[in-house]
Structure 1
C-alpha cells in the first residue's frame, strides 16, 4: 500500500512538491525496532517458557533449554566456542563488568608486590560509557592510574604509532569496533599488532558491529567484548559479554549464582529469547541485507543528500565506515536547525549519540577527529538498519529531497531572522497577564510534551509535524492576539512563528531560549 501523502507547502511557504506522511526512522544507531520474530519469541518465553531457569522442575528445565540454546547460537554467531559468554542488561553493564575485572586484576598484582602498568587507555571517540567506567573503577579501587585517550585521525581511526609507543605502559586498552556517531571502523588488526608484547588487556566495544562486522574475537586475542541487543532488533534491557578464556573476571553482581556464578539475578528470559531470534536470523540469513546491499542503500541516501543540500560534507570516509551510517554537515545550517527541519518532515535523525542528545553541544567525536569547528557544530547523523529494505530507502530519499526544497524556501532561519521572531520570558509573563491574552502553542512532539510539561503556560499542543493543519485557524485570530510558540530550545518554535507570519498573522512569536529559559526564570 502506498504511503499517504501530506502537503508540506503550508508549513514552509513556497515549497513545491509533497512529502510522505509516514515516519522515516533514520536513527538506528540509537536503537532499532524489535524484529517480528523477536517479539514472538519474547511472548512465547513469557507465556510458554516462563519457568525460572534455575529451577529443577519441568518448567525450569524448559527455560534452561531455551537459555542454553540462545547461548549456543551466540557462540556460533560470534565465533567463540570457548571463553565466558554471559547475558547482561546491555552494553553498559558489560563494559562495567569488563573494566572492573581488568582493574581488579591490576590491583591484585599491586597488592602482591608486582609492578603495575601506569596507563589506562581508551579511544578518543569511544562511547562515554567507557572512559566514565575507567575513571569510576580506577578511583573506587584506589589504583590512581592515568586514564588517557588514544588520539584518532581525520578518518576516526586510532593513531597506531601513538598506541605502539604507549602500549608497554598500558594495563587496559579500550577501543570500539565501529563508532556509533560516524560509523568509522577501527583497524582491529592494526591495534592487535600495536599491542603485541604489551601486558595490556584489550576491551573491544562490539555494539555497533554485531551483525555488520566479523570481529574474529579469538583470532585477535580480544579479552572482553560487550554487545547490546537493542542496536540490532532485540529489545532494550538485554545484551552479552564475551570474556576470553584466561582473561581476569570479577562478577559485577553477586547473589544467587545465576549465569554459573558470573552474573547474579534471575535472567531476563523474554529479552534473551528475543535476542536468540535475532541471532537465529543472522545465522539463517534472509532477514538482514548483505554488505553490498547496505553499501548500495548508503549510496542512494548519499546521492539524495547531495542533491538536497548542495555543499554538504560527509564527516567520515565511506571506505572505512559502516555502510549503515552517514554523518553529515551542511554549511551555514546548525545541527539543531537541520534536525528540526527533518523532524518536521517526519524524518528521525540525531546529532550524535542518543545519550548526549539533550546537550546542544558540538560532537566530541568529531572534535577528537580534528574536523573543522563548523562541521562538528553542524553534524547530524543518519543511520538505518540492516533490515530496512529497498522501499524504505526510496521513501527516505524522497523525504530528504523534500527537506532540501524546504531549506531552499527558507524553512531554516538564520540568526538574524531568529532574533526578529523572539520574545523574552519576562515579556511573555507580562503578556499572560494582559488582554487580549496570548495563545501559547507547544510545538514539541507529544512524547516530549508528556515528559516535560510546559508548566505555567497552559499551552495548546500542536507538534511542528502537524502545524500545517492549524495555521488557517490561527490566521483567523484577531490581529491583536499574540501567538507565542514554545519548544525545548527555541529552534522549532521560531520555524512555527515564521510559518504563521508568512500566512498573514504578524503577531507571531517564539519564546527565546525555549522552555529551558522559561523554567530557569520561574
Structure 2
C-alpha cells in the first residue's frame, strides 16, 4: 500500500470527482455553446459549478473563469495587469514575494519583456518565519503597478498575513494578485471583502483532475484575454470548455460543502501533530523549517542534521511513502530550496529540506499507517548507522565508497582483524565518516591522501578531533602514510604505495599476490601506472563525475560513450525464464533494502550489492567462467544503469539494467513479499 504524502504537489482524484468526470464524458458531453438540448444541459452544468465556486470563494460580483490551471491563471492575471500599464506608467515597479512559486516571477519577466515595459522587478523579502516584510512593502508600494503574494506557500505551508499586506497597500494604486492554489479548501480567502484583484486556483491540488482551474478577477480590475477565439467564458477565455474537468471540480466543491467528505481544520491539525511527533521520534535532531503555528495544517517541511534531502526521499520511497524535496516543479534539479534560502535558513536546512503534505481526504487509518512507516524509516537509519543518534553497532568489511559532489572517498575495512583505512576523506564528509567509524568501532591504521590536497589534511585533523580513540598513533608523512612501515596489512590483504607526480597511487591486493586487485589512483592516471598494475586491476578514481565506478587500463583508453542493455519491466519474467542462471542484483543502499519489498522474481537468484560497495563484487563477476547474466535494479533505474554500464565497460558481456527501476514495474510484478533478512545485511 502506497502512503502518499505529497499532496501539495498533486492529489489523487476524489471518487466523486472521477464519477462526475465520466458522467460528463458519457452523458453531459454537449458543447455548452450549442443551443440544442444537449448543449444547454452542458451549459447548465457549467453554470452550476461556477455558482457553487462563487459562493464558496465569496467572489461577490467578481468574475470567475474556468482555466486550465494555476499557471494559465497567473499568466492571464499578469498580462492583464501589465497591459493596463502600457502608456500609463504611473508606476515603475513590479513586486512579488521572495517565496512565490516560480510561475509568478517568470510570468512577470516574460510579459514585462514582451510588452516592452522594462519595469523594475523586485522581490519582497520574507523573515525567518516566511512572512512578508510589510515595512518593505509599505515603502515600495507607492511605486508598484502590481504586487504578487501567495495565500499560503506550497513548500513550507506558511500562511501569508493577507490583512497585513492589504494594510501595507493602503494608498497604493497597485493591483494585487494572490496565488490561492494552496488555500483552496483550506483557508477562507474572503475575496469580495478584500481588495484582491486576481486569484488563481488549481483543481489538481484538491482532488480534481489536472487541467482544470479557476481565475478570480475583481469587478473593475483590468483584463486582457490570454486566449482569443470563439468567445467562450463571456469572451474572457476562449476555447471549448473542459466539461469533464469542470464536472469533476464541481464534485470536489460539493464535497467541501457537505462537511463530511473532507476533514475540518481541527482534524487536520491533529493529524499533522501526530505526523510531526512520529518524525521527531524517527529522526533525532529534526528541525521544522517553518513554524507550525502559522502554517497550513496539511504541510510539514523539515530537515535532519547530517542527512541529505535525497537520502531521506530515497528512504521514504523505499518504505512506499511518497514525499518531496520542495516544489515538485523543481525537485528534479536537486538544488537547495530557494524558498528556505529566502527565509535566511542555514544552508544545510535549505539543501536538506523534505516536504510532507497531506490533503483533507485522509483518514485515521491512513495517518496511523503513515506514522508507523515514518518510525520504520527511523529504525532503518539506526540499524545502518545513519541516524543522528542511537545507532546500532555494525560490522565493517570490504570497500565502501562515499561520494560528495563527484569526489570519492574510500573506507577499507577488515572484519577479521577489526581494522580499517580511510582514503581521500574530505571535510564535508567527516560527520558521515565519523558516524560510520563509530558504529564500526575499528581503529584506523591510516588516513591517507592520494594527492596531498589541503582538504584531505583538514579532514584528517577534523577526524582526529572527533574520534581521537580510533585514530592512528604512528607518525605519518604529508600523505598520511605511517612512517614506520612499508605496507599496511588489512587481514589477508595489504596496502602498498607508489609515488606519482600527483602524490601516491595506493595498491590493494592479497598478501603476496603478483599484482594488486585494486589501485586507488587519485585525480588522474599516472603515466607509469602500467608498471604497477595488471590488465585486470581495477582503478578506483579520486573523482568520478562520469559515474564510471571503476576502470581498467584498457577501459580507460576506450571511448566511454557506452550503451547499456536494458530489460523493460514487462519483460522481467521472460528474461528470468530465458536466463535461469541470471543473478538479479539490488544496488539500492542497505537502509532502503531493509524497508522495501522485492519484486516477483519467479524464483531467480537475488543478491544485495549496494552501488557504494560495488567494487567488492566487480572482480568476482568479471572472472567468473562462464560469465553469468547480471540484471541490476534499483528504485528508478539510475543507479542500476551506472552498475550495468560499469560492468559493460570493464568487459562483462551480459550486464543489464531494469529500465525505470522498481517504480515502473507492471502491477503484477510489483513487490509482494518481504525480502530474506539474511540477504540484506
Higher relative contact order (CA 8 A, sep 6+): 1
Kept after mapping to 2: 8 A contact 1:341/1:411: no
Q: By how many angstroms is 1:220 displaced?
A: 1.4
Q: Are 1:473 and 2:605 counterparts?
A: yes
Summarize the Cα distance change of 1:194–1:125 in structure 2 as closer, same or farther, 3 Å threshold.
same
The equivalences for 1:51-70 within 5 A come to 51-70=30-49
The verdict on how the C-alpha distance between 1:84 and 1:130 changes in structure 2, with shifts beyond 3 A counting, is: same
Indicate whether 1:410 and 2:550 are aligned: no
**1:86 matched residue in structure 2:** 65
Q: Note the residue ranges of structure 1 that are not aligned, 5 or more in a row.
A: 1-21, 111-115, 435-439, 447-458, 498-508, 516-522
CA displacement, residues 406-436 of structure 1 (integer Å, 9 cap, x when unaligned): 11122759996344498742847977999xx
Partner of 2:155: 181
Instruction: Render the CA deviation track for 1:111-161: whole Å, top value 9, x for unaligned.
Output: xxxxx2111000000000000000000000000000110000111110011
Structure 1: distance between partners of 2:265 and 2:639: 37
Secondary structure of 1:256's aligned partner = coil
1:495–1:146 CA distance, 2 compared to 1 (3 A):
same
Give CA-to-partner distance per residue, 1:319-351, whole Å, 9 cap, x none: 100010000100000000110111111110000
1:260 is paired with a residue whose SS is coil
Q: Is the 8 A contact 2:585 2:606 kept in 1?
A: no
Contact map agreement 2:284 2:387 (CA 8 A) in 1: no
Whether 1:202 and 2:342 are equivalent positions in the alignment is no
Q: Note the 1:349-368 alignment, pairs <5 A.
A: 349-368=323-342
2:67, 2:586 → 1: CA distance? 40
2:39 aligns to what SS in structure 1? helix
Sort the Cα spacing of 1:357 and 1:445 in 2 relative to 1 into closer, same or farther, 3 A. Answer: farther
In the alignment, which of 94, 109, 114 is matched to residue 120 of structure 1?
94
Q: Match of 1:283, SS?
A: helix
Query: Structure 1 residues 442, 338: CA separation in 2 closer, same or farther (over 3 Å shift)?
Result: farther
Contact 1:441 1:484 in 2 (8 A): no
The residue correspondences of 1:471-510 to structure 2 (distance < 5 A) are 473-475=605-607, 480-481=620-621
Return the offset for 1:475.
Answer: 3.7
- For 1:450, the equivalent position in structure 2 comes to none
Matched, 1:172 2:146: yes
Residue 453 of structure 1 aligns with which residue?
none
C-alpha distance in 1, partners of 2:260/2:587?
38
1: distance between equivalents of 2:61 and 2:11? 29
Matches within 5 A, 1:368-383: 368-383=342-357
The structure in which a higher percent of residues are helix is: 1
Q: Is 1:142–2:274 an aligned residue pair?
A: no
The structure whose Rg is larger is: 2
**Does 2:200 align with 1:220?**
no
- In structure 1, what is the equivalent of residue 166 of structure 2? 192
* Equivalent residue runs for 1:41-440 within 5 Å: 41-110=20-89, 116-410=90-384, 417-418=402-403, 419=408, 420=410, 424-425=547-548, 427=550
The yes-or-no answer on 1:40 pairing with 2:19 is yes
Alignment partners' CA distance in 2, 1:176 and 1:122: 9
Q: Cα distance 1:488–1:41, how it changes in 2: closer, same or farther (>3 A)?
A: closer
Tell me the equivalent position of 2:448.
none
Q: Which runs of 5+ in 2 are unaligned?
A: 389-399, 412-539, 559-563, 571-582, 589-595, 609-616, 623-629, 645-654, 662-681
CA contact (8 A) 1:441 1:486 kept: no
Q: 1:362 to 1:484 in 2, by over 3 A?
A: farther
Moved more, 480-489 or 346-355: 480-489
Whether the 8 Å CA contact 2:79–2:226 is kept in 1: the answer is yes
Q: What is the root-mean-square deviation of aligned Cα atoms in Å?
A: 3.5
- For residues 114 and 91 of structure 2, what CA distance do their matches in structure 1 show? 18
* Residue-by-residue CA offset, 1:62-115 (whole Å, 9 max, x unaligned): 0000010000010011011311110000000000000000000011424xxxxx
How far apart are 1:375 and its partner, in Å?
0.4
- Please state how far the C-alpha of 1:185 moved relative to its aligned partner: 0.3
* Distance of aligned partners of 1:220 and 1:409 in 2 relative to their CA distance in 1, 3 Å threshold: same
Identify if the C-alpha distance between structure 1 residues 167 and 444 changes in structure 2 by more than 3 Å, giving closer, same or farther: farther
Give the secondary structure class of the aligned counterpart of 1:121. strand
TM-aligned CA distance change 1:428 to 1:25, over 3 Å:
farther
Aligned to 2:85, the other structure's residue is in SS state helix
Deviation for aligned residue 1:467:
4.5
Q: How far 1:442 sits from its partner (Å)?
A: 8.6
CA distance in 2, matches of 1:376, 1:445: 36
* Length-normalised TM-score, structure 1: 0.81
- The answer (yes or no) to whether the contact 2:584–2:606 under 8 Å persists in 1 is no
Partners of 1:188 and 1:52 in 2: how far apart? 39
Q: 1:432 to 1:63 in 2, by over 3 A?
A: farther
Does structure 1 conserve the Cα–Cα contact (< 8 Å) formed by 2:587 and 2:634?
Answer: no
Structure with a larger share of its residues in strand: 2
